[in-house]
Each structure stands twice: as structure tokens, then as C-alpha cells.
Amino acid sequence: MRISKIIDQARRRASGMTLIEMVVASGVGTLILTAVAFLTMFGARSFVAMGNYGDLDRKSRNALDTLSREVRQSRALTAFSSTKLVFQDNDTNTLTYTYDATAHTLTRIKGTQKVVLLTGCDYLNFDISQRNPSNGFSFYPTTNVSTAKLIDVSWKCSRTILGAKVNTESVQTAKIVIRN
């Protein structure tokens, strides 16, 4: 009887894990793998969001720099709407900035050269004013292009990650004076 008891104990030691132990171990392993997967997805999404923000900032700065430089150097504003500006450039050519609300783009057109300055632009508005301020900070609005010396531009662009708008870069207001 004693030998059978020793054999039973040896079999139990060599038998491995019980079903309950296996279920508990599988559950804990699944929880750990799920947590690692969520952390990886969160990290990847954050990395893409930072890349999007950097891209938005770079393109907004570049568009504003180009627009400011060329508006300041233009001879005169020849046509205006809330989504389109047409200038007589310093070399007497036509320079046009057009916002396409359907394509969400701001495009610069000079001669036959067409350059898209902004993409993913949800909102863009141009406004014109006279050069002289009314109370120190705001300017007298005008609808006449011959008296317009100040261009007020604002836009809002965004990017998506997996179909959801996550990043937004907004140039609230830039006031650009036509110097010539």
C-alpha cells in the first residue's frame, strides 16, 4: 500500500497543470497581451498625431510666409471675394490666391504656374480693409479694391487618423499690408 501511495504522488508531480491552472494562466496571458496591444496602438497613434501636427504647422507657416511676402510686394489688389484674391504683381503679372471649399485647398496661381499651398483646409476667409486703423487695433473695412491696403486672412486646417479628425492647426488672423 505504501508503494502505491508513492507511485500516486510521483504521478501527480509529473502530470503537469490542472485544467483550472491552465484557464487562469490563459486568462492572465490574454489580459497582458491585450494591454500591450492597446499601449502599442496608443503609442502609434500619438506618434502619427505628432507627425500630423508638425506637417500642419510647417505647411501653415510656409503658406503664410509666401502669402505675406507676395501681398506686401504686389502693386495693387484688383479683385476680391471671401475666397479669392487677385493682385497685380510687382512685375505687372496677375497673382491669384484661391480657396476651393470642395477640395479643401488654397492655391496660388501666377501665370501658368499653379501651386497648392494648403491642403485639408476646412475653413479659409479673406477680408479687406483700409490701411488706417479706426481705434488702434481694428481697421476700417472696405469693399472697394482701390482703397484696400490691408488683407485679413484666417484659416483652419486639419488632418485625420483612421478617419477621425485629430489634429487641427489654426491661423487665427494674419493682417498683411500692401506696401506699394
pLDDT of residue 13: 65
pLDDT of residue 170: 65
pLDDT in single tens digits along all 180 residues of the chain: 566 666 666 666 666 677 888 899 999 999 999 999 999 998 988 888 888 888 888 888 899 999 999 999 998 899 999 999 999 988 888 999 999 999 999 999 998 899 999 988 889 999 988 877 777 677 878 888 888 888 999 998 888 877 777 766 666 668 888 887
Task: For the chain, give the number of residues.
Answer: 180
pLDDT of residue 120: 87
Q: What are phi and psi of 174, to 5 degrees?
A: -130, 125
Question: How many other CB atoms are found less than 10 A from the CB of residue 147?
Answer: 13
pLDDT of residue 160: 80
In the three-class reduction of DSSP (H, G, I as helix; E, B as strand; rest coil), residue 25 is classed as helix
Sign of CA dihedral 7, 13, 16, 21: positive
Q: CB of 165 within 8 A of CB of 49?
A: no
Global pTM value: 0.75
